Amino acid sequence: MLDTVIIGSGPAGLGAAIYASRAALDYVVLEKAGYSGGQIVTTNDLDNYPGMPNIDGASFSMALQEHAEKLGAVIKEATVTAIERNDDKSFTLKIDGQDDIITKTVILATGANPRTLNIPGEAQFLSHGVYYCATCDGMFFRDKVTAVIGGGNTALEDVLFLAKICKKVYLIHRRDELRGDKHSQEKIFALPNVEFVPSAVPKSIKGDKKVTTLEIELQKTGETKEIAVDGIFVAVGMIPNNKLVPDFVATDKAGYVIADETGVTNTAGFFVAGDLRTKALRQVITAASDGANAIKSVTDYLNA
């Protein structure tokens, strides 16, 4: 029986693996994708991880994996289909096409993905003008024109961040009124370089090698309009990768596993790390930190 199984090999999972090796735990990392890194792999430029400026997501992920493997991490390609709790409080992991794995503890680090617009050009220009995190990638658009799509608190925070560095920021929202908090709205409406475009639905994203144009439809008139932009930040929510969360683990209304930075859930021996847990900031650095904290919680649990 293993001490722990880490499911997912993004920054949270690999961060956990590094600390699991240092804690001399008997463990394995399971990754269904066949490669490590999670969604950070698709990031063209990662500029906010301490000590590793201007690195692309794939290189960053490779460095994380090499670090973990150098310390003894075993990363196994496997698709977990279910997690069951046994009478002795251990866990059985059902693996597609492979033998079951029995473990004393589980760390679920399957992350979350940005909700997409599903419009032409969005996937084509990913990391070439289309992004899902302004605080991660906004600095590449200093003195340029950007658009934020969304109307909640995340979108408003993105606008406030970008407005400090961009020549102009368009805020595109499908409704007449924003859903974010009123204090942030007041700040935004007072900014001279922010233009709010209400009742507008994005229709397509155009460009050559990089984004040049956002096409929107004004719902009240049916008019189609093109806006010249250098970058587009989509802020219409996140979708937690929670398919493996068993019924005995508590989640919030949005489907995130309820846990603080310790990764401790309502079920003894079951821990969560990274973007899948309830948290205010979903960044690479907080995911890696979650992995370390989860191993601390695992060792405390095992020692007890």
Residues 109 and 248 in one domain: yes
Which pLDDT belongs to residue 47?
A: 72
Predicted confidence (pLDDT) at residue 178 exceeds the cutoff of 80: yes
Q: Among 234, 256, 271, where does a domain finish? A: 234
Largest distance between two CA atoms of the chain: 66
194 lies in the same domain as 263: no
Give the end of a domain, one of 206, 234, 262: 234
Q: Which of 181, 216, 234 is the last residue of a domain?
A: 234
Q: Region 228-253: what's the mean pLDDT? A: 96
Same domain, 43 and 65: yes
Residue 56 has pLDDT above 90, yes or no: no
Residue 83 in this model has a pLDDT that exceeds 70: yes
Instruction: Assess whether 157 and 64 both reside in one domain.
Output: no
CATH at residue 196: 3.50.50.60
Which one from 3, 137, 158, 275 is the annotated catalytic residue?
137
Q: Which residue has 């992004």 as its token pair? A: 131
- Summarised one tens digit per residue, pLDDT across range 198-220 is 999 999 999 999 999 999 999 99
**Mean pLDDT computed over 13-40:** 91
Per annotation, catalytic residue among 3, 136, 230, 275: 136
Percent residues over pLDDT 70 in the chain: 99
In the chain, the number of structural domains is: 2
Indicate whether 130 pLDDT > 70: yes
Average of pLDDT values for 186-190? 95
User: Quick one: average pLDDT of 180-188?
Assistant: 92
Q: State mean pLDDT over 21-49.
A: 84
133 in active site: yes
- Does 45 score more than 80 pLDDT? no
Give the pLDDT score at 27.
98
Give which of 16, 39, 28, 36 is closest to 95, Cα–Cα.
28
| Residues 84 and 144 placed together within one structural domain of the fold | no
Q: Is 166 exposed, middle or buried (CB count within 10 Å of its CB: 0-12, 13-18, 19+)?
A: buried
Question: Based on the domain organization, do 129 and 216 belong to the same domain?
Answer: yes
pLDDT tens string 288-300: 999 999 999 999 9
Residues 25 and 94 both lie in one domain: yes
One domain, residues 65 and 134: no
Q: Which domain holds residue 9?
A: 2-113+238-303
**Would residue 136 show up in a list of annotated catalytic residues for this protein?**
yes
- Do 41 and 68 have their domain in common? yes
pLDDT for residue 19 is more than 90: yes
Q: What is the residue-averaged pLDDT of the chain?
A: 94
Per-residue pLDDT band at 176 (split at 50, 70, 90):
very high
Q: Based on the fold, state whether residues 261 and 289 are members of the same structural domain.
A: yes
pLDDT in tens, 259-286: 999 999 999 999 999 999 999 888 899 9
Pairing of strands 211-218, 80-85: unpaired
pLDDT of residue 42: 67
**33 pLDDT higher than 90:** no
Assess contact for 159 and 180: CB atoms under 8 A: no
Task: Give the C-alpha separation, 125 to 198, whole Å.
Answer: 24
Q: Is 230 a catalytic residue?
A: no
Same-domain status, 285 and 180: no
- Identify the active-site residue in 26, 88, 96, 133: 133
User: What CA–CA distance (Å, rounded) separates 44 from 115?
Assistant: 19
| 68 Cβ contact list (under 8 Å, min separation 6) | 14, 17, 18, 21, 29, 75
CA dist., res. 101 & res. 91, Å (int): 8
98 and 28 housed in the same domain = yes
Please, which pLDDT band fits residue 228 given cuts at 50, 70 and 90?
very high
Give the DSSP per-residue string, 32-82: SSSSSSGGGGG-S-B--STT-TTB-HHHHHHHHHHHHHHTT--EEE--EEE
